[in-house]
Amino acid sequence: MPHSSHEIRLSPREWIITLVIIAGLFYLIPVGWQRLESLETNPDYRIPYELSSDYWLFSRYCRSVCAADKMPVIGDSVIWGQYVKPDQTLTHYLNELAGADLYANLGVDGTHPMVLAGLIEYYGKAIKDKDVILHLNLLWMTSPRADLQIEKEFAFNHPRLAPQFIPPIPCYTASVSEKIGIIMERRVPFFSWLNHLHRAYYDNQNLQNWTLENPYACPFAPVTFELIPPGGRERQKPIPWTEKTAAPQAFPWVEPDTSLQWQAFLRLVKTLQKRNNRLFIIVGPFNEHMLDDQSRKTYTAIKNKVETCLQEKNLPCYLPPPLPPSLYADASHPLPAGYAQLAHQLFELLNR
């Protein structure tokens, strides 16, 4: 006997059909969306800063780069180009030297090794059977905080890309339900597409919060199918660090043997190698000029340990000498002329 006059009860067969339809929609909507939303790139394209946490877009851009048979250059804001325009980045100058569009900027702002490993594992699956330039920024080992070792919780970049359970991160204390939701987002493209929708069109808000703030607006009006352009300006003014501070800096460095970031970088290397990628690793260029004597000695020892470890693993690597002081904007970001000089050194090494 039915429990109510308007009850709808499905048979097992009808439940199966319903689930198949829902699963199909979960798959088809993200795929179909790419036909409606154009991704217009050029040789100097980089993920728009405002969409740094749009991992669905990153995945789509990865597929575009690999389909075009370009060489991915992977890293954090040093590769992205924090203080330079799109036509002043490392990849721009490499392409200029090559005389062709061979290198692609896959840098994403704020992606320290702990989260860069997650970005490539879950959203960079298209990167396989490729020559890859991978950047290691030792800035992420300058302190226990940068290395994510401190017990006190603090907001670090891209927590949705970090390991949710193993290995544990002392300062990351998201609830179990939040972590499970993040894992689901990684494995079901529909959920990462939904995150893309919120970030690209709804000011980084979910639809519920957006409608509360815009009660009289049509909820579909922001969806223009036009992505935020990368922009032609640098994110920060390209001022040499010497004009900001001249005081020597002392960093409480973390040794590679105990560094969470270094272990994460090695996991990233393994992920890329399992996909039959051929890696070339560039370490730096770190601004040694701003370090005091003791900190510089510690940095040199750490750099040597990193180089030895990479060589033991038969990983081609390049540790460029420090650039002239006037070519740095801060501890690790070059200015335009710094990128040009670094590109010349790297290009000669790659083409020997």
Residue 5 lies in a domain: no
The tens digit of pLDDT for each residue in 228-265 reads 888 778 888 999 998 887 688 899 999 999 999 999 99
**What is the average pLDDT value for the chain, to the nearest integer?**
91
**Per-residue model confidence (pLDDT) at position 252:** 96
Distances in Å between the alpha carbon of 206 and those of 180, 191, 197, 200, 210?
18, 12, 9, 11, 6
Residue 74 lies in a domain: yes
**How far apart (Å, rounded) are the C-alpha atoms in residues 27 and 127?**
21
| Prediction pTM value | 0.92
**Domain CATH number, residue 294:** 3.40.50.1110
Residue 319 lies in a domain: yes
Choice between 19 and 293, residue whose per-residue pLDDT is larger? 293
Give mean pLDDT, residues 175-189.
92
Residue 32 lies in a domain: no
Give mean pLDDT, residues 288-301.
96
Give mean pLDDT, residues 217-235.
84
Give mean pLDDT, residues 119-133.
97
Contact of 329 with 335, CB cutoff 8 Å = yes
**Per-residue model confidence (pLDDT) at position 206:** 80
Choice between 209 and 103, residue whose per-residue pLDDT is larger? 103
Residue 18 lies in a domain: no
**How far apart (Å, rounded) are the C-alpha atoms in residues 37 and 65?**
17
**Per-residue model confidence (pLDDT) at position 214:** 85
The tens digit of pLDDT for each residue in 192-210 reads 998 999 999 988 888 788 8
* Owning domain of residue 267: 40-350
Total count of domains within the chain: 1
List 318's β-bridge partners, or say none: 282
If one counts every other C-beta atom within 10 angstroms of the C-beta of residue 82, the result is 22
Sorting pLDDT into bands at 50, 70 and 90, what band is 98? very high
The tens digit of pLDDT for each residue in 18-46 reads 666 666 666 678 888 888 888 889 999 99
**Per-residue model confidence (pLDDT) at position 4:** 53
Residue 33 lies in a domain: no
Choice between 203 and 147, residue whose per-residue pLDDT is larger? 147
Residue 11 lies in a domain: no
**Per-residue model confidence (pLDDT) at position 330:** 94
**Per-residue model confidence (pLDDT) at position 40:** 87
Residues 6+ apart with CB under 8 A from 20: none
Residue 125 lies in a domain: yes
Q: What is the largest CA-CA distance in the chain?
A: 85
**Per-residue model confidence (pLDDT) at position 232:** 76
Sorting pLDDT into bands at 50, 70 and 90, what band is 221? confident
